[in-house]
Amino acid sequence: MPVVSDVNDAVQEYAPTFRMVDLDGDGFISVEELKSLMKALGQEISHARAVEVMVEADGSRDGKMSLEEFAAFMTRNAGR
> pLDDT (tens digit, 0 to 9) for every residue of the chain, 80 residues total?
334 457 788 899 999 999 999 999 999 999 999 999 999 989 999 999 999 999 999 999 999 999 999 999 999 887 65
pLDDT for res 78: 79
CB under 8 A, 24+ apart: contacts of 28-33:
28/64, 28/65, 28/66, 29/64, 29/65, 29/70, 30/63, 30/64, 30/65, 31/63
Cβ atoms within 10 Å, residue 80: 4
pTM of the entire structure?
0.84
pLDDT for res 79: 61
Range of the domain at 58: 2-77
Counted domains in the chain: 1
pLDDT for res 72: 93
We report the CATH number of the domain holding residue 26 as 1.10.238.10
